Structure 1
Amino acid sequence: MKTEELLNQLLEAALKAAQPEEQLARLKLEPVKGKTLVLGAGKASAAMAQALEKIWPDPLTGLVVTRYGYAVPCEHIEVIEAAHPIPDENSQLAAQRLLAMTKTLTADDRVLLLISGGGSSLLSLAADPLSFAEKQALNQALLHSGASISEINCVRRHLSAIKGGRLAAACQPAQVINLLISDVPGDNPLDIASGPGVPDPTRCSDALKILERYQIKIPDSLRRALEDGQLESIKPEAFAPGQIQTHLLAAPRQSLLAAAKVAEQQGISTHLLGDALEGESREVAKVMAGIIQSCRLHQQPFKTPCLLLSGGETTVTLKGKGSGGPNAEFMLALAIALKGQEGVYALAVDTDGVDGAEEIAGAWISPETLDKARQLNLNPEAYLDNNDAHYFFQQLDQAIITGPTLTNVNDFRALLLL
């Protein structure tokens, strides 16, 4: 089998493992006296709603919001689309409508929250005293700051009128069941779409420290509100025991295991380096290059041929004029560090099909990548300095474009050492 074909099969297996149908089919819930309301947000929320309608025995109503281009037809659950990664007016409208639908819930009712990655942007409602425009600008600044997703979502939870447990609080006294597809390192429900359906133990002071750490300017009114604790999120003691249940339907590790199975069927020794790797993309790439060099030269820590798989979420501190997609930047930095190392093939993608803000999932490299670039008079270091890896790989025809995958378990990296 050709190396490019094998890499494609690995990616296909990883994406298939992240689809919600199988996991929802295994879900066993006791019936309730009242109605079941479905609310949701995220890149996978429409696909989750469609799958839920197929297996749910009772009538369902509700509303989910997904990214533009990610809607799929549902019979009873309404689907609307909004913007990602920067929220737009539809993001605000979706949040308002979801909150409005909770007004008539009773203790006999149940709410199924279908939450997946991307929900932070798709379900966006600014808390006073923040305007929606100010929240959009802050979101942009956070995404370009180099902050981790956990740090970003801590801030988001305290600047929102719907996240940080606020949607779950609005559903009281109904029971809330979170059905989650994780796109975050560690699979913490707090960080998946900034936790609209789970309580949040972090404080306003934590959010303020993060903003200060990354030197993100905020309005004086917002600073005062954070300092005074006016924007505190919903704490665990606000809910009765058993009122909130949380089920993780899909996570990065499942995708890594699915890809590993494909490789092992081809007789390739496979090693999982972890599903929660974080850090600056170019720095993580240097670490991976060092591991690859050690394997090739010393057969340590792994003997070649082998496949190294990892997941998580790397970040880009945007300093150049490019769009800074973390997976493409990881690939470019890795290619530079490897210097055309023979026998090394790799890909890195965001499993939602969107690397950063671009409609590109990621990129792949081979030992010939740098030679191809030189033949086209492309300077890899200059593109890396400009955070413009997407355009670099597009010119080499080595960008990976999947289109909407209807799921999101974050980064998937495969390093094949022959």
Structure 2
Amino acid sequence: MDDQESRRALKAMFEAAVAAASPASCVAPHLPERPRGRTVVIGAGKAAAAMALAVEAHWDGPLEGMVITRYGHGAPCRRIRIVEAGHPVSDAAGLEAAADIVRMVGGLSPDDLVLCLLSGGGSALLSLPAPGLSLADKQAVGRALLRSGAPIGEMNCVRKHLSAVKGGRLALLAAPARVVTLAISDVPGDDPSVIASGPTVADPTTRHDALAILKKRAIGVPPRVRLWLEDPRSETPKAVPGAELRLVARPREALEAAAKAASGLGLRPVVLGDGLEGEARLLGAAHARLALETAEDLRPGQAPVVLISGGETTVTVQGRGRGGRNAEYLLAHALELAGRTGIHALAADTDGIDGSQDNAGAILSPDSLSRALALGVRPAERLADNDAYSVFAALGDLLVTGPTRTNVNDFRATLINAPSAENHP
């Protein structure tokens, strides 16, 4: 496959992964039966508005409620109110909307249904601080966790113990109504207690875990935050009776869809896993070495191999660049490949937003490094400054999709073409 064919193939695989997690197709089969009483729809996440739209399209009966999504991720719902708020750092809009949701689920009866729609991003969007804490407290801790390179499980552990609604608390507030949660997983292992910080499920983590994470990451917090975490009242519920959670889309299913698309294009897909974590640049380099080993085994005429993986890497911010974990993964990938012919790659977030940037990710070609150097861009220096975004922006190789209104975590694919006969010994 030439450069353009390889690029088209990588984009087709990414699009197949995103389509597999589209709320328009994955929500309806998991809807619960209609209750005798009211149906109140709540939720939060980058896919929450699209999930609400799917509920409206398939629900036979009265509906009311509200969901919170990221700015720019709304959908034209008619019965369910859509509120857009800040992500990845919470803002006042999210706080006000979370307080409204608490009021909506109060005073319900056992005949009523609370249908909770959750997806990645919900933890920052559904932000209601614990008693005695402020939004500014949560924002400061959230920013520090983001910069520390903490994985999503650690971030959400801390968030749950600083919240009035996360870690199962929202389900308790909705009692005695029946609570059914539909969730799109964006976390390694599909742990329901981690998705959007599990507002409707029991939390296995403790306040002591949260304190240990802050210590390990050397994160200083306001005195009232530490005092709250040392208070037994900050402990999250370890049981949430009567609540049910249904996973409607998983990262694994998205990778399977991408692999199927690859096979349809005549490629040989190898799925490395859907829960890969760690520093973006380290994983990028490791996957490049695996690609080089795979290339050594290919012979002329053999079908290209594509290495596919998912999960969520992290970036420990040390520089001042624009970053993006998928761009950082890909730039480290490029430096390790060192311009090896026949190898192309794509890394992108399935929600269409790489970290807090305006791109989903980027695409890499064998000539990316040489083109960057010709433009006066020094990729190794940019990587050291956490500024991979600017490298791919200069090359015109950012992958810009806009909000996809779903989120099953990162998608990575490295396509390895067989050598031509004239270039093979």
Same fold (TM over 0.5): yes
4+ runs of 1 displaced by more than 4 Å? none
Aligned twin of 2:146: 143
Q: Give, in whole Å, the separation in 2 of the partners of 1:192 and 1:323.
A: 26
Q: Deviations over 1:91-119 (max 9, x none)?
A: 10111000010112111111100000111
5 Å-filtered alignment, 1:313-332, equals 313-332=312-331
1:107-118 equivalent positions in 2, closer than 5 A: 107-118=110-121
The answer to whether the Cα contact below 8 Å between 1:39 and 1:113 also exists between their aligned partners in 2 is yes
Residue 53 of structure 1: aligned partner: 56
Offset at 1:30?
3.1
Contact 2:32 2:180 in 1 (8 A): no
Question: Partners in 2 of 1:54 and 1:28 — Cα distance?
Answer: 11
Q: Which residue does the alignment assign to 1:37?
A: 40
- The DSSP-based 3-state class of the residue aligned with 2:43 is strand
Cα separation, 2, equivalents of 1:304 and 1:283:
28
Quickly say closer, same or farther: Cα 1:304–1:288, change in 2 above 3 A. Answer: farther
Check whether the contact 2:46–2:407 (CA below 8 A) recurs between aligned residues.
yes
Task: Tell me how far 1:8 sits from its aligned partner.
Answer: 1.4
Question: Equivalent residue of 1:276, what SS?
Answer: strand
How far apart are residue 29 of structure 1 and its match? Answer: 2.6
Paired residue secondary structure (1:279):
coil
Counterpart Cα distance in 1 of 2:33 and 2:41: 16
User: Secondary structure, in 3 states, of the residue corresponding to 2:258?
Assistant: helix
Aligned position for 1:389? 388
Distance 1:158 1:176 in 2: 21
The CA distance in 1 between the partners of 2:31 and 2:195, in whole Å, is 22
Does structure 2 retain, via aligned residues, the 8 Å contact 1:323–1:356? no
Residue 360 of structure 2 is matched in structure 1 by 361
Query: Structure 1 residues 399, 28: closer, same or farther in 2, change over 3 A?
Result: closer
Q: Which amino acid aligns with 2:16?
A: A
Distance 2:94 2:15 in 1: 30
Amino acid at match of 1:286: A
**TM-score, length-normalised on structure 1?**
0.96
SS in 2 for 1:144: helix
Partner of 1:69: 72
Per the alignment, residue 106 of structure 1 pairs with 109
Q: Matches of 2:129 and 2:285 in 1, distance apart?
A: 39
2:238 to 235, 249, 256: 235
Matches within 5 A, 1:275-294: 275-294=274-293
Partner of 2:30, secondary structure, is coil
Please tell me the residue identity of whatever aligns with 1:74: C
How far apart, in 2, do the equivalents of 1:262 and 1:397 lie?
25
How many residue pairs align between the two structures?
Answer: 412
Matched, 1:82 2:81: no
Q: Is the 8 A contact 1:296 1:304 kept in 2?
A: no
Q: CA deviation at 1:304?
A: 6.4
Which residue in 2 is equivalent to 1:127?
130
Separation in 2 of the partners of 1:323 and 1:95? 30
2:335 and 2:80 map into 1 onto residues whose CA distance is: 48
Residue ranges of structure 1 left out of the alignment (5+ in a row)? none
Q: Give secondary structure in 1 for the equivalent of 2:27.
A: helix
Q: 1:360-400: CA deviations, max 9, x gaps? A: 11111010100100110110011000101111110110111
**Match for residue 262 of structure 1?**
261
Query: Helix, strand or coil: the match of 1:168?
Result: helix
Distance, in Å, in 2 between the alignment partners of 1:296 and 1:411 is: 24
CA distance in 2, matches of 1:185, 1:392: 29
What secondary structure sits across from 2:328 in the alignment?
A: helix
Equivalent residue in structure 2 for 1:218, among 208, 215, 221: 221
Q: Give the Cα–Cα distance (whole angstroms) in 2 for the partners of residues 229 and 137 of structure 1.
A: 22
Structure 2 counterpart SS, 1:275: strand
Aligned-residue CA RMSD in angstroms?
Answer: 1.4
Question: Contact 1:190 / 1:199 at 8 angstroms: preserved in 2?
Answer: yes
Question: Alpha-carbon deviations, 1:203-256, whole Å to 9, x = none?
Answer: 1000000000000001223223222323111221xx33xx11110011111111
Report the CA distance between 1:299 and its aligned residue.
5.4
Opposite residue 335 of structure 1, the aligned amino acid is A
Q: Deviations over 1:283-327 (max 9, x none)?
A: 111210121111112459xx8621111000000001100132100
The aligned counterpart of 1:192 is 195
Please tell me the residue identity of whatever aligns with 1:308: L
Aligned partners of 2:329 and 2:347 also within 8 Å: yes
1:203 aligns with 2:206: yes
